[in-house]
């Protein structure tokens, strides 16, 4: 913290050296593309769905569980990201159709994934301004999970690369991952603040190792990222948008 004034010290977060930013749904939109493809996927294989799981007025989330279950089972093998999502869609299509799914449909699923990987980056509001303002005062790192190549490509396409000291792509954003990160950055955990949209991945494990967490909720939370318990912690704050972090850090 370089520009802290004594009058406002009580509302600022002090002694921070490094700010970690989550990327997907914190700096740029991501989840809506997955949800859009899920809709297309289920329309593609609708004829194979058992009647009980077909869309009804009373069950608008009818389509979520079989694919999410496959993804959950595959996370340990494939990790996160678009390529894992493609494989899980193909596996689910084969299972649900009892092997009757055609190669045209499989090709279409692969194309959905390629379109996602090539999708232009849509930054969240005010991201550039916030990074520009923070950059002279802090070292900033991008902390993300998912596919290495995809995340690197997204960072390059986002135009935000120069703001970051480095990009840390972890297999799982958990206590172990964040402990390694602060050690690698040569920090006391209390000198690290993480900013992100997922309580489970960006906030709770950071608080557990002694760091700070600023949560910016995204309108939708991926089903695998939901947490049941509200977070109450002296190192925790919930923000309405990314711009709100400036009054706490500058
Ligand atoms: Mg995120």
Multiple choice CATH, 6-28+122-249, 3.40.50.1000, 3.40.50.720, 3.10.290.10, 3.40.50.2000: 3.40.50.1000
Is residue 185 scored above 70 in pLDDT?
yes
Range(s) of the chain covered by CATH 3.40.50.1000: 6-28+122-249
Is residue 3 scored above 50 in pLDDT?
no
Sheet with 192-196: list strands edge to edge.
166-170, 139-145, 18-21, 192-196, 212-215, 236-238
176 CA → ligand 1 middle, Å: 18
216 CA → ligand 1 middle, Å: 10
245 CA → ligand 1 middle, Å: 16
pLDDT at 230: 85
Tally of residues, the chain: 250
107 CA → ligand 1 middle, Å: 29
Range(s) of the chain covered by CATH 1.10.150.240: 31-117
Is residue 45 scored above 60 in pLDDT?
yes
pLDDT at 34: 93
Is residue 9 scored above 50 in pLDDT?
no
Is residue 61 scored above 80 in pLDDT?
no
The answer to whether 28 and 154 are in contact (CB under 8 A) is: yes
Name the residues around ion ligand 1, CB cutoff 5 A. 22, 24-25, 197-198
Confidence of residue 51 (pLDDT cuts 50, 70, 90): low
CATH annotation of 31-117: 1.10.150.240
Q: What is the pTM of this model?
A: 0.87
């Amino acid at each position: 913290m370089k520009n802290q004034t004594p009058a406002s010290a009580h509302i600022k977060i002090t002694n921070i050296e490094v700010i970690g930013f989550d990327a997907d749904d914190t700096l740029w939109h991501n989840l809506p593309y997955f949800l859009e493809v899920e809709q297309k996927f289920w329309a593609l294989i609708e004829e194979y769905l058992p009647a009980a799981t077909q869309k009804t007025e009373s069950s608008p989330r009818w389509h979520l569980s079989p694919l999410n279950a496959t993804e959950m089972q595959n996370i340990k093998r494939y990790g996160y990201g678009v390529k894992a999502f493609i494989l899980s869609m193909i596996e689910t299509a084969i299972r649900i159709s009892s092997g009757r799914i055609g190669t045209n449909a499989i090709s279409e699923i692969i194309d959905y994934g390629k379109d996602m990987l090539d999708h232009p980056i849509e930054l969240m509001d005010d991201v550039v301004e916030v990074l520009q303002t923070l950059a002279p005062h802090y070292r900033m790192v991008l902390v993300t999970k998912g596919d290495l190549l995809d995340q690197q490509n997204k960072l390059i396409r986002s135009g935000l690369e120069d703001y970051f000291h480095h990009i840390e792509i972890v297999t799982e954003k958990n206590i172990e991952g964040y402990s390694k990160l602060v050690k690698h950055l040569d920090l006391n955990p209390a000198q690290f603040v993480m900013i992100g949209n997922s309580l489970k991945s960006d906030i709770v494990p950071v608080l557990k190792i002694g760091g700070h967490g600023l949560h910016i909720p995204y309108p939708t939370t991926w089903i695998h990222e939901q947490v049941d318990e509200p977070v109450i912690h002296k190192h925790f704050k919930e923000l309405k948008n990314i711009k709100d972090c400036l009054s706490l850090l500058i």
